[in-house]
C-alpha cells in the first residue's frame, strides 16, 4: 500500500455535496483535511472554491489514481469548457509516495502544488513532512472553515 494525496475543489452548485460524494466514493481514504474556502486562481471571473485534501492508503498507481479522479469528476457532471474555469468538481493527483510521472496528461508530484496555498495549507494538516520548508508569500484567500466532520457528517468518512 502507498500513501497518496488528492486535491478536491468545487465552486459550482452544491459545492460541499460534490466534495462529500467524491470522498464517500474513495474506499482507500484514510484522512480528510479541514474544509477551506479559497479564491479562484487563474481563469475567468468565478465564485470561491471549497477545497480539501484527501490522504489515501492505496494500491493504485498514479495512473490508476488519475482514472479515479476522472471518474469522480464525470460522476459530478464536470464539463471542461474553459481552462481553470468554474467546475462542479476538480480532483487532482497531488502526490504518490515513491512515484514520479512526467507525461502529457499526468505529472506527479503535481507541478503547481507548491505554488498554491489551497493545496499546501490543507496538505500540511495531513502530511507535515510535505509541508516542511514551504513558505507562502500570499495565502491567496485560503480560509479554513472547519473540520471535515463538521461539514460532511453523512459520508461516514469525516476524518479530520
Active site residues: 78, 87, 90, 92
What are 75's strand-pairing partners?
none
Residue reference for cell 453523512: 154
What contacts 118, CB < 8 A, 6 or more positions away? 7, 9, 36, 38, 41, 49, 51, 140, 142
- HEC per residue, 62-91: HHHHHHHHHHHHHHCCCCCCCCCCCCCCEE
SS3 at position 54: strand
Q: Let me know if 153 is exposed, middle or buried by CB neighbors in 10 A (0-12, 13-18, 19+).
A: exposed
73 phi, psi to nearest 5 deg? -65, -45
Amino acid at each position: 500500500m502507498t500513501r497518496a494525496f488528492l486535491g478536491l475543489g468545487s465552486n459550482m452548485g452544491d459545492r460541499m455535496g460534490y466534495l462529500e460524494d467524491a470522498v464517500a466514493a474513495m474506499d482507500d481514504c484514510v484522512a480528510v483535511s479541514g474544509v477551506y474556502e479559497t479564491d479562484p486562481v487563474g481563469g475567468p471571473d468565478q465564485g470561491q472554491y471549497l477545497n480539501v485534501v484527501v490522504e489515501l492508503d492505496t494500491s493504485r498507481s498514479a495512473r490508476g489514481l488519475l482514472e479515479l479522479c476522472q471518474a469522480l469528476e464525470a460522476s459530478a457532471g464536470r464539463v471542461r469548457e474553459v481552462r481553470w474555469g468554474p467546475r462542479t468538481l476538480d480532483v487532482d493527483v497531488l502526490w504518490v509516495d515513491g512515484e514520479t510521472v512526467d507525461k502529457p496528461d499526468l505529472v506527479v508530484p503535481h507541478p503547481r502544488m507548491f505554488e498554491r496555498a489551497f493545496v499546501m495549507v490543507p496538505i500540511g494538516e495531513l502530511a507535515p513532512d510535505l509541508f516542511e520548508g514551504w513558505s507562502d508569500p500570499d495565502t491567496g484567500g485560503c480560509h479554513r472553515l472547519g473540520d471535515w466532520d463538521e461539514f460532511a457528517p453523512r459520508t461516514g468518512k469525516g476524518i479530520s
